[in-house]
Amino acid sequence: MTSMYKVSTIGRRKFLVGGATALAAASSLNAINVRANESSVRIVIVGSGAAGISLANRLSRALKNAKIIIVDRKETHYYWPGLTLVATGAWPKSKVLDRNSRFLPSQVDWVKEMVINFNPEVNRVETDTGRQIEYDYLIVASGVEYNYRSIEGLDIEAFGQNGLASVYHSPDVAALSWNAIKQYSQTGGDAIFTLPSTPVRCAGVPLQMAFLTIDRLKQNGGFGQANLNFYSANQNVFGLPWFNQFILDRFKEDGMQVGLETELSAVDIGARKASFKKADGQIFTQDYDLLHVVPPMRAPSSVRYSDLAWQEGNMRGWLAVDKDTLQHVKYSNVFGCGDVNGTSRGKTAATVKMSVPIVVENLLAVIANEEPTASFNGYTSCPLLTKFGAAMLIEFDYNGTLVSTFPFIDPYKESWLGWVMKEQLLKPTYLQMLKGNV
Ligand SMILES: Cc1cc2nc3c(=O)[nH]c(=O)nc-3n(C[C@H](O)[C@H](O)[C@H](O)COP(=O)(O)OP(=O)(O)OC[C@H]3O[C@@H](n4cnc5c(N)ncnc54)[C@H](O)[C@@H]3O)c2cc1C
């Protein structure tokens, strides 16, 4: 079935009303709000994850007359940051599952389909049912795609058995992964943890999985028999040098061998063998009793193959946005938010929380025919869980400069408070973020 939302026209952009004198007295954002409020613009948000829902709530409050459409088939909301706790046996799966309908404002139209084509030249997206949706303004918030298939022999159905684990895929697979990790923590044996060369969501997660597995080994009796290995496809295991060295030192204390510039390339599930490719092209194979796989990640194919993606450079395929304004570099009526953005750092919910207000402010400016001036500093936050009951809270910007929003937590120290932040406080804050309240 092919259907078409009512076609937008340039006439819709005649929305700037209101007395200049009255507006001049207000703050710039309020001024933009007042004028944009009078408009009946059509905004399409692609993706109903953390960024998409938060944007929908804020925009529907800021633009009372706008037509806001969110496109995404997914109805279940995953609280992704909780998956680490599910995969290490600290939380039940039920704690990370919710319904998007609970968070979407009633005045937002929800099209439960997936976008397969972006046509920014004609301000239109096409969904997988053939529906054409026109927009005046577009926000792409479609997250990442996991590329497990690039690892030869890997079968997603096999997670949870034969010592195969991966926290990333979904709550189901995280829970199955806990089965594999629990079993391993009782017996020990050869464990391998991986980190791919692509950008990953929450760069601390692959490390957390290693640290928390070590803690489980110590709790459940397998530590004495454990042979631990961490293979990173990069030249480090974490992007900030001080923390990279801290992690390497802690790994050494626990007997974790670290191999750098070494990427997982193939798995023989039945034989429990993993093959790795080194930077010099050398390939080697190693037996394992536990393999924790972090999949290579990329932008969803609808973005990757579109005119909206960076066409070259190390962010090729990711959404081509200006790192400061988060406005598309070519199409001024398009913005990006969340993991899909081709910016140098920050695929975290913390980045979403800090960047949603920037996108909203800049979009309102563009709607009001003004320059977008709100600037994002690249804030990201990584709770590095070093064992159950202890974590470091590392917050930094595009430049890798530490930017602490919790002055009472020393980022250089493991603390119980850091753990409480992750285990107790992050989820309520996340839910408030979805509602557009923080
Ligand atoms: C295991 C794990 C632990 C994490 N821990 C933390 C943490 O401790 N702290 C932290 O801040 N962050 C953490 N994160 C990262 C955080 O969860 C993400 O950065 C955040 O969820 C990104 O939000 P998003 O809206 O960009 O993507 P998502 O929330 O994934 O939403 C993207 C949405 O887009 C939809 N979509 C995709 N393609 C299309 C399409 N073609 N058409 C329509 N819709 C589409 C998807 O269905 C999805 O609903 C963690 C992530 C994981 C996986």
Reported as a single tens digit per residue, the pLDDT across 215-227 is 999 999 999 999 9
How much is the pLDDT for 406? Answer: 86
Q: Is 200 part of a structural domain of the chain?
A: yes
CA dihedral 242, 245, 247, 249 (to 10 degrees): -140
Is residue 25 very low, low, confident or very high in pLDDT (cuts 50, 70, 90)?
very low
Is residue 39 very low, low, confident or very high in pLDDT (cuts 50, 70, 90)?
low
Residues with Cβ within 8 Å of 188's Cβ and at least 6 positions away in sequence, in order, are 217, 222, 223, 224, 225, 226, 227, 289
Section 381-405 average pLDDT: 95
Q: Is 276 in contact with 229 (CB distance < 8 Å)?
A: no
Residues with Cβ within 8 Å of 276's Cβ and at least 6 positions away in sequence, in order, are 231, 259, 262, 263, 264, 265, 283, 284, 285, 286
Assess whether 247 and 316 both reside in one domain.
no
Give the whole-angstrom CA distance, residue 246 versus residue 349.
24
Is residue 20 very low, low, confident or very high in pLDDT (cuts 50, 70, 90)?
very low
Is residue 330 very low, low, confident or very high in pLDDT (cuts 50, 70, 90)?
very high
With a pLDDT cut of 70, the percent of the chain lying above it is: 91
The active-site residue out of 382, 392, 393, 426 is 382
CA quadruple 411, 415, 418, 422: dihedral sign: positive
Last residue of a domain, one of 296, 316, 336: 296
Residue 134, domain extent: 10-73+112-144+299-367
Assess whether 234 and 254 both reside in one domain.
yes
Distance (Å) from CA 118 to ligand 1 centroid: 20
How much is the pLDDT for 15? Answer: 26
Section 198-202 average pLDDT: 97
How much is the pLDDT for 382? Answer: 87
Closest CA to 182 of 89, 275, 277: 89
Distance (Å) from CA 103 to ligand 1 centroid: 15
Name which residue sits closest to atom 27 of ligand 1, judged by CA.
143
Assess whether 320 and 355 both reside in one domain.
yes
Name which residue sits closest to atom 19 of ligand 1, judged by CA.
348
- For the question of residue 202 being annotated catalytic, the response is yes
Taking each helix axis from N to C end, the angle separating 349-367 and 426-434, rounded to the nearest 10 degrees, works out to 20
How much is the pLDDT for 12? Answer: 33
Query: Strand 283-287 vs strand 273-278: parallel, antiparallel, or unpaired?
Result: antiparallel
Give the whole-angstrom CA distance, residue 196 versus residue 230.
11
- pLDDT score of 282 more than 80: yes
Assess whether 211 and 336 both reside in one domain.
no
Strands (E), 260-357: 262-268, 273-278, 283-287, 290-292, 297-298, 334-336
Assess whether 53 and 136 both reside in one domain.
yes
State pLDDT tens for residues 137-162. Answer: 999 999 999 999 999 999 999 999 99
Q: Is 46 in contact with 72 (CB distance < 8 Å)?
A: yes
Name which residue sits closest to atom 37 of ligand 1, judged by CA.
142
Distance (Å) from CA 205 to ligand 1 centroid: 14
Residues with Cβ within 8 Å of 346's Cβ and at least 6 positions away in sequence, in order, are 355, 378, 379, 380, 398
The per-type count for the chain, helices as H runs and strands as E runs, is 11, 22
Give the whole-angstrom CA distance, residue 2 versus residue 283.
49
State pLDDT tens for residues 404-420. Answer: 898 889 999 999 999 99
Name which residue sits closest to atom 47 of ligand 1, judged by CA.
74
Section 330-334 average pLDDT: 98
Is residue 1 very low, low, confident or very high in pLDDT (cuts 50, 70, 90)?
very low
Q: Is 408 part of a structural domain of the chain?
A: no
Q: Is 142 in contact with 269 (CB distance < 8 Å)?
A: no
Assess whether 153 and 212 both reside in one domain.
yes
Last residue of a domain, one of 243, 276, 296: 296
Assess whether 197 and 129 both reside in one domain.
no
Closest CA to 425 of 379, 381, 378, 387: 381
The active-site residue out of 202, 247, 363, 366 is 202
Q: How many domains does the chain have?
A: 2
Q: Is 287 part of a structural domain of the chain?
A: yes
Section 242-266 average pLDDT: 98
Distance (Å) from CA 418 to ligand 1 centroid: 22
Residue with the bigger pLDDT between 13 and 131: it is 131
Give the whole-angstrom CA distance, residue 248 versus residue 264.
20
Name which residue sits closest to atom 28 of ligand 1, judged by CA.
49
Section 33-48 average pLDDT: 80
How much is the pLDDT for 37? Answer: 61
Find tokens 């994002």 and name the residue: 376
Strands (E), 180-256: 189-195, 226-232
395-403 CB contacts, 8 Å cutoff, 24+ apart? 395/350, 396/240, 396/345, 397/345, 398/323, 398/343, 398/344, 398/345, 398/346, 400/239, 400/240, 400/345, 403/377, 403/379
Name which residue sits closest to atom 49 of ligand 1, judged by CA.
49
Question: What's 184's domain CATH number?
Answer: 3.50.50.60
How much is the pLDDT for 4? Answer: 37
Distance (Å) from CA 144 to ligand 1 centroid: 7
Find tokens 């790994």 and name the residue: 251
Best mutation site among 139, 142, 172, 419 for ligand 1 pocket (most ligand atoms within 8 Å of CB):
142
Q: Is 160 part of a structural domain of the chain?
A: yes
With a pLDDT cut of 90, the percent of the chain lying above it is: 89
Q: Is 279 in contact with 259 (CB distance < 8 Å)?
A: no
Best mutation site among 139, 146, 170, 202 for ligand 1 pocket (most ligand atoms within 8 Å of CB):
202
Is residue 69 very low, low, confident or very high in pLDDT (cuts 50, 70, 90)?
very high
Q: Is 390 part of a structural domain of the chain?
A: no
Atom of ligand 1 nearest to the CA of 351: 11
How much is the pLDDT for 36? Answer: 62
Assess whether 347 and 234 both reside in one domain.
no
Distance (Å) from CA 252 to ligand 1 centroid: 32
Tokens of 96: 């990370």
Give the whole-angstrom CA distance, residue 94 versus residue 116.
31
How much is the pLDDT for 13? Answer: 32
Q: Is 309 in contact with 329 (CB distance < 8 Å)?
A: no
Distance (Å) from CA 165 to ligand 1 centroid: 20
- pLDDT score of 2 more than 70: no
Q: Is 238 part of a structural domain of the chain?
A: yes
Residues with Cβ within 8 Å of 46's Cβ and at least 6 positions away in sequence, in order, are 52, 70, 71, 72, 115, 125, 138, 139, 140, 141, 142
How much is the pLDDT for 38? Answer: 57
Assess whether 155 and 285 both reside in one domain.
yes
Assess whether 159 and 286 both reside in one domain.
yes
Tokens of 267: 């798995």
- pLDDT score of 167 more than 80: yes
Name which residue sits closest to atom 35 of ligand 1, judged by CA.
47
- pLDDT score of 270 more than 70: yes
How much is the pLDDT for 361? Answer: 98
Tokens of 98: 């919710």
- For the question of residue 337 being annotated catalytic, the response is no
How much is the pLDDT for 32? Answer: 59
Mean model confidence pLDDT for the chain: 92
Residues within a 6 A CB radius of ligand 1: 46-52, 71-72, 74, 80-81, 83-84, 114-115, 141-143, 167-168, 201-202, 205, 300, 302, 338-340, 347-350, 352, 381, 383, 422
Last residue of a domain, one of 266, 296, 326: 296
Q: Is 217 part of a structural domain of the chain?
A: yes
Assess whether 283 and 325 both reside in one domain.
no
Assess whether 158 and 117 both reside in one domain.
no
Q: Is 392 part of a structural domain of the chain?
A: no
The CA-based angle 139-145-149, given to 5 degrees, is 160
